[in-house]
Amino acid sequence: MRALRRAMLTMLRRTMPAVLALAVTACAAGDPEVAERTDVFEASIAQLQAAMESGATTSREITRQYLDRIEAYDRRGPALNAMISLNAEALAEAEALDRERAESGPRGPLHGIPVVVKDNYDMVGLPTTAGSIALAQWYPPDDAFQVAKLKAAGAVIVGKTNMHELAYGIETISSLGGQTRNPYDPQRNPGGSSGGTGAAVAASFAVAGMGSDTCGSIRIPSFHHALVGLRGTRGLSSRDGIIPLALTQDMGGPMARSVADLAIMLDATVGPDPADETTRLGAGQIPSTYTAFLQAGGWEGVRIGTLDFQLGTAPADRPVRDVIEQALAAMTGEGAAVVALELPGLAELLDGASLERREFKSQLADYLSTPGTPVKSIDDILDRGLYHEALESRYRLSAEAPGLDDPGYLDVVARRDVVRRDVLAVMAELEIDAIAYPTIRSTARLIGVPQPGTNCVLSSVSGLPAIVVPAGYAEDGMPVGLELLGPVWSEGELIRLAFAFEQLTHHRRPPATTPSLLRVDVGPSVHTATGAEHVPPVDTPISARARFDWIPASGTLRYDASVYGVLDEEVLFMHLHRGVAGEVGPVSVLLSGSGDASVSGIVALTSEQRVAFEAGALYFDVHTRGHLAGAVRAQINPLVTPGTVPGD
């Protein structure tokens, strides 16, 4: 057994070469226990395993912390609404795994590791609702194949995540779960349909999670949350026990905060399943471990292809395209070659090639034929009004769609073979290792605003694997993901490329709205505003004193400001402007109106304002009747720096 532990730790050191030990941190000031605890915030599988192996923590303690984070941030704080149900037995299961570790050692790298699963995966003991009130009382008789594999690996499933209802959309809104919010900006959507898993993993509600992808539903939330997500080759993993949307495209798979964690999750969930005949295609194609591909560097000789229509040609596509072009430049700077590909007619072939609308009705009905399900068809759901209004038009179109023997359906299926053949041919001819593009050509939109620009179709209809890795942040401060598509069964090579890019760039940073619960809260920032700091300087006896408190959990800035040396009625405005020291910039936040010489309040920062705040590019100023352009000014020093949390 000692040999098993040594072997596992050797593997973990390979997956996280920089640091194995997870820092132990003190509880926030004011905690009467002031006990030292291992912090789960942004922790990796390797770090948590090392901490459990050393005795610094236990699976029960780790699971408790994740449940505490869900309590603090899912219904309170930024109210992400990522979780749809919690496993009441999670702590007991974690405790049992702790006993097993002590008695016989860990089963492997997932032993005692808390994860979440999307609520279209069957799981004994919890309802499988797919976000639909029609299935609120549906308790399946057994686990989905991949859920069973996770349990066998020793993972603790802390709960199930919200999703776009019945997986039919990319904004994650459902009649049972409501609207999930993006932790990078709670006013925006999290992508979908696996948006609950994306938000939960990004906010450290678990180490990693499972999603499903019919046309981007793993990859789009990964893009929007600075996560790593993989859609595998058709047949890599079983769909048994996952509520279908379109079985010719459906794939289940992992989402994680790092490529190493994704590789470990992938190892645990792939493989043959007699209940899903497509998994026979994977015979001889799956390596003993995907962690063997976690190799940094090696860019010399790598050839990356691009398709201009996927990069985006409209002005609205430019912010995301800029980030992707910077990512490509980082690769070429290390010796890779970027090759512009020409595939005439590919964009037209992809248009209308996704088959959700045609397959959904009959394949959902097949799943609902299981004894005990409360509804039996999409017509049943529509007739009873058991759906969210945002889904009505899609449901009705699917209910009216012709059957799978319709010539139009068969024509689309045949068109997919052409897409696959043409893409593989040009990749082989030009020796392309992967095709690179943004998963979606715009950052997460405000809740209620349609989300445009998806590039989901190429991987989904060709059956070729694709991985998403954090590529950086657009000018609005929101994450952007780089998608890499490879030939059939190239998951290992895609993991190698994604890991090399991750280690080269280190773009992942946690959302500010869900910081560590164990570290000290941000203290106040107090500034004295004078005319000397104004641009140009102002000779005036007027001064001001302003205090700012950053509240990461809600993404808000609390302020308290007073002006001295001038009558109240002389004060016109107090503002926060956008601009670095020594420069003038536009008004960003109005703090007070005319006649207010003393003001306090709280303001929610947009993602763009938060970017400026973290960069030290907001300044406080006071405008008076005698000095319309501004009498006094103070640059607001950032209370946190990008990629850190309070207490770092």
Active site residues: 118, 193, 217
Place of tokens 């279209």: 120
Residues 6+ apart with CB under 8 A from 190: 80, 82, 171, 172, 180, 181, 182, 183, 196, 198, 199, 221, 224, 225, 444
Paired with 453 in beta bridges are: none
Helix (H, G, I), strand (E, B) or coil at 16: coil
Paired with 635 in beta bridges are: 619
User: If residue 545 lies in a helix (H) or strand (E), which one and from where to where?
Assistant: strand 543-551
Q: Reply yes or no: is the peptide bond before residue 536 cis, omega within 30 of 0.
A: yes
Nearest to 69 by CA among 50, 83, 89: 83
Residue 565 contacts residue 584 (beta carbons within 8 Å) = no
Paired with 577 in beta bridges are: 587, 619
Helices 318-333, 491-505: crossing angle, 10 deg rounding: 90
Helix (H, G, I), strand (E, B) or coil at 290: helix
Amino acid at 635: Q
Largest interatomic CA distance in the chain = 83
Residues 6+ apart with CB under 8 A from 578: 585, 586, 587, 588, 609, 612, 617, 618
Amino acid at 85: S
Place of tokens 């997932």: 110
Distance (Å, whole) CA 177 – CA 131: 6
Place of tokens 């809104």: 173
Tokens standing for residue 278: 């497509």
Helix (H, G, I), strand (E, B) or coil at 459: helix
Dihedral pair phi/psi, residue 523, rounded to 5°: -80, 175
User: If residue 422 lies in a helix (H) or strand (E), which one and from where to where?
Assistant: helix 407-429
**Measured distance between the N- and C-terminal CA atoms of the chain, rounded to whole angstroms:** 37
Tokens standing for residue 263: 């590789």
Residue 559 contacts residue 603 (beta carbons within 8 Å) = yes
Distance (Å, whole) CA 138 – CA 372: 7
Helix (H, G, I), strand (E, B) or coil at 522: coil
Distance (Å, whole) CA 605 – CA 599: 18
Residue 213 contacts residue 231 (beta carbons within 8 Å) = yes
In the chain, DSSP finds a helix count (H) and a strand count (E) of 18, 23
> What one-character-per-residue DSSP string does 145-165 give?
HHHHHHHHTT-EEEEEE--SG
**143's torsion region: left (phi>0), alpha (psi -120 to 50) or beta?**
beta
